[in-house]
Amino acid sequence: MKRVGDVLIEAGVLTHAQLQEALDYSKKQGLKMGEALIEMGLISEIDLLNCLGKQLGIPVLPDKELAVDPSLIHEIPYNLAKKYNIIPLYIQNGRLVVVTSDPLNHSIVDELENRTKKPVSLALAGSKIITAAIEQYFSGAENISQTLKQVQQLEDESILSRFGETEANVNDTPVVKFVHQMLQKAVLEHASDVHIEIDNVDFHIRFRIDGILQTMFRPKPQLHPLIISRLKVMSRMDVSEHRLPQDGRIKLKIDNELVDFRVATIPCLQGETMVVRILSQGPQFMQLPELGFSKSGLERLENLSTKKHGLILVAGQTGSGKTTTLYSMLRQLNKEGVKIITLEDPVEIQLNMLNQIQVNTKVDLTFANGLRSILRMDPDIIMIGEIRDPDTAKLAINAALTGHLVLSTIHTGIAAEVPVRLMEMGVEPYLVANTLMGAIAQRLVRLNCVGCKTVEDVSPQFTGASKVDFKSYRGTGCPACNRTGYRGRTCIDEVILMEPEIRRLIMHSGDTEQIHEVAMKSGMRSLRETGFDKVRSGVTSFEELARVL
């Protein structure tokens, strides 16, 4: 079989000089030859597919929306479809025809045939088209649109009376189907929250995806009480109470996995507003190297993970991934012979071999009171969800001082602010200097969508100069990323280790600027620097970095 490059040269698509240039580029960047040719702009994806189709005798589908048989979607699990970017099309002569953009990946056919117990044939199509089809069919987009049409036709609110009946009696209503499909779509879209809101203008349902709210549905305002009531029933709230805030939980099996939802409602001027937090089981179980930390940041984080006692704090805004980082550190520290106790509000992820305590202010189980009790339980490692008041700060410092390793989060902007914030809470400078082992500050930036990212023109406002010496990229928007240009998130970071000079500064009540300056001289890379590294590598855009910083 001829090499891809040779076939492209014979077809007049590529020259020998361009092929050699692409070979050098692919080795340097660690890319496959086809990926290198496309990234360099020497060929289009359809040129590559036509070449591969000719070589392998595989049909190439037209560059348009795929005609998928919805009844076959169940043949391939969603996670496998995403992993290989494949989708089943139809059955032909007893064979399951699956479309891919990577026919040279032989494990695709092997894994599918083992799973489906059917012979598998391949067809070729562009990666963006396949990604769009996966999002359309696996997210239930067609089903949920049809259900919403049925819901919109409901005029009589008498259906509310049925929500007090047994689950079996209401499962056939369009509202029930819509709510279930809405939650399912939110999970598949990797949303962190669902916001159900009504105002003077309309009723809208928004998903928070990658930290940004996106409007997904605009049902008729008359449907607002129906959808709110259904969610109240599912979360065991009082359906008749509209004047007071309420909290509840829902457990649903979605894509063969049990997902936890935390539900909160509050009365507003135009009607109740509800937020459903999705307590996903996925990203929180990442290993430390998978979180996106810079090379220097990860080395410093690994250094902190070897400490046997002291205080380690993760700083950042709400929603900046602090708890995820703590869980990943706990996973690495969770070994035989070590006792770990956590005090959280709420306990979002349940980990094996950990003693996890839920804060409950109704019975006066606060962070401070809970921490006092934990110290009598002989722990080696303590994780506190957040240091938010002087009592908790002083208790955490005392725990670290008496031989425990204490991990927690704190709300500050940068890592150098952490010791200053502790001192502002009333902790003596010498105690901060002696117990604080390190401080981590982080933010989450959205990833450029791999399906639609292109080279962008950079505005001087982002760089402080009229010209940059590297290419920057920005997603233009496609079905796979809901037309946002971004899909997924990673972190930018700065990690301070308590060097002797920094400890001396803290002992003399040094300010944030002084601590930051010394940390930079000691080898720390700032949030801005690690962010620019992500832009240089094409992971995110200047615009996104500017938004976050």
* Number of Cβ within a 10 Å radius of residue 368: 19
pLDDT score of 61 more than 70:
yes
- CATH code 3.30.300.160 for 4-125: yes
pLDDT of residue 306: 92
Q: Are 359 and 385 in contact (CB under 8 A)?
A: yes
Across 6-10, 201-205, 349-353, the highest mean pLDDT is recorded for 201-205
For range 330-355, the mean pLDDT:
87
pLDDT of residue 458: 67
Q: Higher model confidence: residue 174 or residue 140?
A: 174
For range 166-189, the mean pLDDT:
74
Four-residue CA torsion sign, 539, 540, 545, 548: negative
pLDDT of residue 462: 55
Residue range(s) of every CATH 3.30.450.90 domain in the chain: 139-279
For range 511-515, the mean pLDDT:
95
pLDDT score of 298 more than 90:
yes
Average pLDDT, the chain: 85
Residue range(s) of every CATH 3.40.50.300 domain in the chain: 283-444+490-532
Four-residue CA torsion sign, 293, 299, 302, 307: negative
Provide the pLDDT confidence category of residue 459 given band limits of 50, 70 and 90.
low
The secondary structure of 148-215 as a DSSP string is: HHHHHT---GGGGGGGGS-HHHHTTSHHHHHHHHHHHHHHHTTEEEEEEEE-SS-EEEEEEETTEEEE
Across 24-38, 355-369, 389-403, 451-465, the highest mean pLDDT is recorded for 389-403
pLDDT score of 388 more than 80:
yes
For range 388-409, the mean pLDDT:
93
Tell me whether strands 436-448 and 310-315 are parallel, antiparallel or unpaired: parallel
Rg (CA), the chain: 27
CA–CA separation, 399 and 74 (whole Å): 52
CA–CA separation, 395 and 415 (whole Å): 21
Question: What percentage of residues in the chain have a pLDDT greater than 70?
Answer: 88
- For domain 283-444+490-532, give its CATH number from 3.40.50.300, 3.40.50.2300, 3.30.10.20, 3.30.930.10: 3.40.50.300
Provide the pLDDT confidence category of residue 406 given band limits of 50, 70 and 90.
very high
Provide the pLDDT confidence category of residue 397 given band limits of 50, 70 and 90.
very high
Q: Higher model confidence: residue 479 or residue 213?
A: 213
pLDDT of residue 43: 80
For range 272-289, the mean pLDDT:
76
pLDDT of residue 15: 84
pLDDT of residue 65: 67
Alpha carbon dihedral 463, 469, 474, 476, in 10-degree steps, equals 120
pLDDT tens for each residue of 532-549: 999 999 999 999 999 999
pLDDT of residue 233: 93
Provide the pLDDT confidence category of residue 178 given band limits of 50, 70 and 90.
confident
SS3 category, 83: helix
Number of alpha carbons in the 13 Å side-chain half-sphere of residue 195: 14
pLDDT score of 251 more than 80:
yes
CATH code of the domain made up of 139-279: 3.30.450.90
pLDDT tens for each residue of 114-125: 888 889 999 999
pLDDT score of 32 more than 80:
no
For range 394-417, the mean pLDDT:
94
pLDDT of residue 51: 82
pLDDT of residue 471: 76
Q: Higher model confidence: residue 417 or residue 470?
A: 417
Q: Are 366 and 325 in contact (CB under 8 A)?
A: no
Question: What percentage of residues in the chain have a pLDDT greater than 90?
Answer: 43
pLDDT tens for each residue of 189-220: 889 999 999 988 789 999 999 999 988 888 88
pLDDT score of 172 more than 60:
no
Provide the pLDDT confidence category of residue 247 given band limits of 50, 70 and 90.
very high
Poorest-confidence range of 383-397, 404-418, 451-465?
451-465
Poorest-confidence range of 215-219, 425-429, 466-470?
466-470
90: β partners: 97
Across 155-169, 189-203, 457-471, 503-517, the highest mean pLDDT is recorded for 503-517
pLDDT tens for each residue of 76-92: 877 788 889 999 988 88
pLDDT score of 272 more than 80:
yes
Provide the pLDDT confidence category of residue 169 given band limits of 50, 70 and 90.
very low
pLDDT of residue 374: 92
CA–CA separation, 293 and 299 (whole Å): 9
What's the maximum distance between 2 C-alpha atoms anywhere in the chain?
Answer: 80
pLDDT of residue 448: 92
CA–CA separation, 165 and 163 (whole Å): 5
pLDDT of residue 466: 47
pLDDT score of 369 more than 80:
yes
Residue range(s) of every CATH 3.30.300.160 domain in the chain: 4-125
The token duo for 387 is: 């240091």
Provide the pLDDT confidence category of residue 319 given band limits of 50, 70 and 90.
confident
Four-residue CA torsion sign, 493, 497, 499, 502: positive
Tell me whether strands 381-384 and 340-344 are parallel, antiparallel or unpaired: parallel
